[in-house]
Amino acid sequence: MENNTQLKQGPDFILPGSDEKNHSLKDYLGKNVVLYFYPKDNTPGCTTEALDFKAHIDEFDKLNTVVLGISKDSVKSHCKFIDKHQLNFILLADEEKHVCSLYNVLKEKTMFGKKTIGIERSTFIINKDGYIVNEYRKVKVAGHVEEVLNYIKDNLI
Alpha helices in the chain (DSSP H): 44-62, 75-85, 98-102, 144-155
Contact between 7 and 92 under an 8 Å Cβ cutoff? The reply is no
Q: Which CATH number fits domain 28-155: 3.40.30.10, 3.40.630.30, 3.30.2400.10, 3.30.70.3450?
A: 3.40.30.10
Task: Name 62's Cβ contacts closer than 8 Å, sequence gap at least 6.
Answer: none
- Among candidate residues 25, 33, 46, 68, the one labeled active-site is 46
Question: How many Cβ atoms sit within 10 Å of the Cβ of residue 84?
Answer: 11
Q: Using 50, 70 and 90 to split pLDDT, how confident is the model at 3?
A: very low
- 3-state DSSP call for residue 123? strand
With 50 as the cut, is the pLDDT of residue 61 above it?
Answer: yes
pLDDT of residue 112: 83
pLDDT average, residue stretch 140-154: 97
Would you call 46 a catalytic residue per the annotation?
yes
Chain CA centroid to CA 3, Å: 24
Residue pLDDT, tens place only, 71-128: 999 999 999 999 999 999 999 999 999 999 999 999 998 878 889 899 999 999 999 9
Sorted by where each begins, the domain ranges of the chain are 28-155
